[in-house]
Each structure stands twice: as C-alpha cells, then as structure tokens.
Amino acid sequence: MNLRKRWTHMAVLSALACTAVLGTPSATAGNTGVVFVHGTGQQTDAANDYWTWDMINSVRQGLPNQNLYLVINCDFNQYMWTTPAAGCLADQVYPFIVNNNITDLVVETHSNGGNVLRWILSNPTWDSRYPKIISSIRWANAMAPSSLGTPLADAVISGNVFESAVGWLLGYQSDAVRQQQQSWMASYNASWLYGTAGRPALPKPFYNVVGTDVDSSPFDSDSYCGGYTLNLGLEITQAWLDSCSDGFINCTSASGAGIHWFNDKDRTDGAEPLSHNQSRRQCFSLDVILRNDI
C-alpha cells in the first residue's frame, strides 16, 4: 500500500470510527433524559400551554434525575423539514444531550410533533447534529401521530384553497396543516420518511399510541379531562374521520408509522378513550404509563 493509499485508507477507517462514536452510546455511563415534543403550532411555553405541568411533572418522576427533561418550544406551523421546525428541534435537543451527557433519551411526541421527529430520524444526513441526536435516542413514544395525515387537514386547507382561488387570501394558512393532508403525507412517506408499511425501518423505535374515540357527553366527567370545550368541538370533526379516530387523527394514521404500542382503551383507567387533546394531558393515567416507560 503506497503512502497516499494508506492515508486514504486511514481516513476512511477514521471516518467510520467517528461514525461509530456518533452511532453508539458512549462507553462511559451516561444519563437518561426525556423530551416533550409538541404538535402543530408555534409554542413559546408548551409546558403550560400544550402539555400542562401536571403532565410533565408526573412523567418526569420516572427519571433517575428528574431535572433531565426538556420541553420543546418551536414553530411547528412550518413544514417539518424547515429550520424553524426540525432545525429548531435539533437546536434545543442537541445541547440538552451534550450538556447533560444524555445517552438514553426517551422522546414523547404528540400529533405532528411525531412527524417532525420522524423527519430527523429519516433524514440523518440533513444536519451534522442529527446522527448524535439519533444515537442518543432509546425510543420515541408518539401519541396520536398524524403519520398518514388527516382528512381534517384536507378539509381545513380546502377552505383556504378556495379563498386563494377567489382572490381573497386572508392569511389563514399553516404549512404544517398543508403538509398533514393525506396525499401530501403519502408523498413524503414514499420517499423522505421511513417507518410506514413497506418502507425501511427507522433507525430507532418509534412507538405509536392511538386514540380511538371522543367522549363528549356533558354528563360524563371524563369528557372534562383536558378541557370539555376541546372535546365538544372534536365530536363533530369525527364526521370527517373513520369510525375509529381521536377526533383529529384516524386510527390508521396514528398507527401508520413505527411500532404499535397500544390503543387508548387497552391501557387507560376505566378503558377511557383519549381524544386528540387528551393524549397530551394528564388523563386516565396516560402520564403514569409514560412515567413507567422511562
């Protein structure tokens, strides 16, 4: 082997060694952490406004060090791949991992947050921080992920399209909602995203939790968990959806990517369904299930 060839060979091996370091947990004992990734919307205080502290404080009790949690605040009104979405998620998760020597990360996502995380898992070479983030993840728990999109996104956008068509574009648009239309997600799932049926597996397990119904009876106290008015609105949205849905996402979509973990009624207290808003709140012991999973 001449000098140039030897150096080249060394470089390849070094690079692979680097990949190995990026790709596997550190030999030294690291820490376990948990990250909460919100769904569609621009959050500045997701702990209060999206998850509630009751939920977060309950789940993080499962951590050996309860301080090692992170609540993401990003602009998930943007397309999942954009700098304000996946880029922002990496901006917040990467230093959390590095600064706290996290080698065992559990990621809790809700709704479209699952798509943003799946973007990172499926596109590890998009950003040089992604391999480190991916290698640190133990698994993701995706509550009600819109993996195959939702007919409601189609319905919402249909109105906006119509406004555009008649020239009165009044600014009610969200790229994230646009992206969650069914044919849009089908397109991304067929190329840019992994983990759906017939596609290669994601580099880390992505467990989905499926909400199967909405309970909005004013005479049932269960309707009030997570906010009664939220559930009331979700009752009619089921008209756009399959008989199995959480009021925003069809069960087929929520279970459309990754590994099915459980349907709400199989594990919640009283076999209560988790509506789309309840699957991010301290309802029917979901928080305990997630706590025990850490």
Region 254-273 residues binding another protein, contact defined as CB under 8 A: 259, 261-262, 265-271
Written as one letter, the residue type at 95 is: P
Residue span binding another protein (CB under 8 A) among the ranges 51-59, 60-68, 158-166, 250-258: 158-166
Residue 24 or residue 221: which is nearer to another protein going by CB?
24
Shortest approach of another protein to residue 200 CB, angstroms?
5
Binding of another protein at residue 127 (CB under 8 A)? yes
Q: In this complex, which beta carbon is closest to another protein, that of residue 44 or of residue 99?
A: 99
Closest by CA to 276, choosing from 112, 149, 111, is: 111
Please count the residues of this chain forming the interface with another protein, following the rule CB under 8 A: 114
Beta carbon nearer to another protein, 23 or 252: 23
Helix axes 88-99 and 112-122, enclosed angle (nearest 10): 70
The contact mask relative to another protein for 211-230 (x = CB under 8 A, - = no) is ----------------x-xx
Q: Which is nearer to another protein, 72 or 121 (CB)?
A: 121
Considering only residues 120, 225, 248, 253, which one is a binding residue for another protein as defined by CB under 8 A?
248
Least distance (Å) between residue 62 CB and another protein: 12
Sign of CA pseudo-dihedral 166, 171, 172, 178: positive
Between the CA of residue 32 and those of 62, 65, 66, 140, what are the distances in Å? 10, 8, 9, 13
Q: How far is the CB of 44 from another protein (least distance, A)?
A: 17
Cα torsion for 131, 252, 108, 291, to the nearest 10°?
-130
Residue 183 contacts another protein per CB under 8 A: yes
- The three-state secondary structure class of 101 is coil
The residue within the footprint of another protein, chosen from 23, 63, 91, 252 (CB under 8 A), is 23
**Is 34 one of the binding residues for another protein (CB under 8 A)?**
no
**Measured distance CA(262)–CA(73) in Å, rounded:** 27
With contacts defined by CB under 8 A, name the span among 59-67, 203-211, 217-225, 250-258 that binds another protein.
Answer: 203-211
Residue 89: φ, ψ to 5°: -60, -45
Give the integer Cα–Cα distance in Å for 257 and 147. 6
| DSSP 8-state symbol, 47 | I
Q: By CB neighbour count within 10 A (0-12 exposed, 13-18 middle, 19+ buried), where does 39 fall?
A: buried
Considering the complex, state which of residue 252 and residue 267 has its C-beta at the smaller distance from another protein. 267
Site for another protein in 63-102 (CB under 8 A): 78-79, 81-84, 87, 98-99
| Of 46 and 152, CB closest to another protein | 152
When asked if residue 47 is in the footprint of another protein (CB under 8 A), the reply is no
Residues numbered 133 to 152 that lie near another protein (CB under 8 A) are: 134-135, 137-139, 152
**Which one, of 54, 33, 176, lies nearest residue 108 by Cα?**
33
- DSSP structure class, residue 41: S
Q: Which is nearer to another protein, 71 or 157 (CB)?
A: 157
